[in-house]
A and B are shown apart, each in its own frame.
Chain A
């Protein structure tokens, strides 16, 4: 286990291919200071293992079924050093933008691997202590992690322009949910979090509303209020509500406040569609 007293570093190996995990394990054999906490064959297992084992270091494959390596990174908290392993070189830029320690191309060579490991150790030795050593119940609910931007915000920033999110990944404890963008009803800002409403359920995610807004297609989602983004197709009608403000009524009966600028945005989208 990764405690500050012993010098061992807890690591996870995440790859959907047995042989690819095997080679990382083998390369780590000469490093007794690295303690392999678990091997995971997909992203769901990885998210669960991070909560359970609280590793310092993850070897993370990019292309995996359901949840990609980047999705996993978005769902985990704490200042964990990540080394991506992949046969695809086109994700290198994105990996750099989400602050990965390194990006190893398969087949992985010993020398390159050692270099990545050195960098990871350096990163782990210099990281802010508090961020990585939290009690179990603390991590179960989302909690602001290390200072600096969160992986979700970075992932949005790393997205190519004119390419909008197709699904959103959220985690509740160890359970991971994928919300296809068509099933997202609205987004509500709650301090450092956003609540994503989909099919009658609300999912909390640590991300700012401004950041998720940039990832959503403006032809389908409107920022109707400082704290609300709504799926345009869900809005059935707008009702006046007090002076200068209105309410948007959604198909399921939900009532959301609409600010004056929000109303102007809603109207211009309506005009565009007409």
Chain B
């Protein structure tokens, strides 16, 4: 379907362009002499309407010859030949119409006067067609920018969606329930420890909620959240959970999306350490080089454990968020050896803005 006919606003614009054009055409013929105003109007108004309909076809020529790629000579000759043919056929149809009108008493002699104006009519037809071609190119440009705008909007909505989903998934309810169970056990055996754990849990939750509103945080802030998470899990798992950390000093202040690493560390504990009767190690490492920040989350794991959620939602989420935030500039790679599960992140190193 022709876009002009399917969109009411475009059709309106088209008609709005044609009304003054038809008047201009009538005026031109009128001043070139020999025809009265009434005669010119009766002859040319239907002809203008016919031309308006016929020149819709120029849309396709415009589409087939985009301004940006088609060469100027090709554009000129394609459109000129199209306009000449269209205009000539149109003027010939006009001639028949003029003959028909001339049979009426009040338009006697119109056929002769029409033939006298034939050249002018063909030339104005060519000019009209060129105006239409200009109009169509403008429409095409509007359409293109509208699509581009929609695409930008769509990607930003997708990015936002991914963020929201990620944030919702952050606090695993089972983590909470298990932690509360530990606190409950500690209240009688070690009240001081119970209180300490309550505070850790409260701090962890507060940070999780607070971070959700920010779009970027320094790596150091994410790490302090992870320290609390791991301290809580350490109470549950005891000596089964061992941690090591190698964070280069110059990475601490680099910006990352909040809660980017939390799901990975949580996976490391729940799908790695929790499946090992004797526990294992979670290793966190970060370094930056050549404007890129590399982060490694590695954990011991049981390769034979039923692979239920090993590549769970956490990983999918992190991948989506990275893609939304740094399109084509970030990567996440998962590798496994016999007993180690490793996730490698690589993203652009974004230094904190200096407020002077």
Contact = CB atoms under 8 A, between A and B. Distances in A.
B274 A107 contact: no
Contacts of B307: 166
Interface string B169-183: 000001001101111
B222 interface: no
A42 interface: yes
B148 interface: no
**Binding site of B, secondary structure by majority: helix, strand, loop or mixed?**
helix
A212 B236 CA distance: 36
Interface in A1-24: 16-20, 22-23
B181 A20 contact: yes
B174 A87 contact: yes
Interface in B229-275: 235-238, 274-275
A106 B178 contact: yes
B61 to A, nearest CB: 55
Nearest to B275: A65
A87 B177 contact: yes
B276 interface: yes
B156 to A, nearest CB: 35
Interface of A: 16-20, 22-23, 26, 41-42, 44, 63, 65-66, 87-88, 105-108, 166-167, 178, 180
Interface residues of B, number: 25
B328 interface: no
Nearest to A88: B174
Contact of A178 (B182, B238, B304): B304
A107 B181 contact: yes
Given A65-B275, A66-B305, A178-B304, A107 B238 contact: no
B188 interface: yes
A248 B165 CA distance: 53
B181 A166 contact: no
A106 B185 CA distance: 11
Given A19-B186, A107-B181, A166 B306 contact: yes
B277 A16 contact: yes
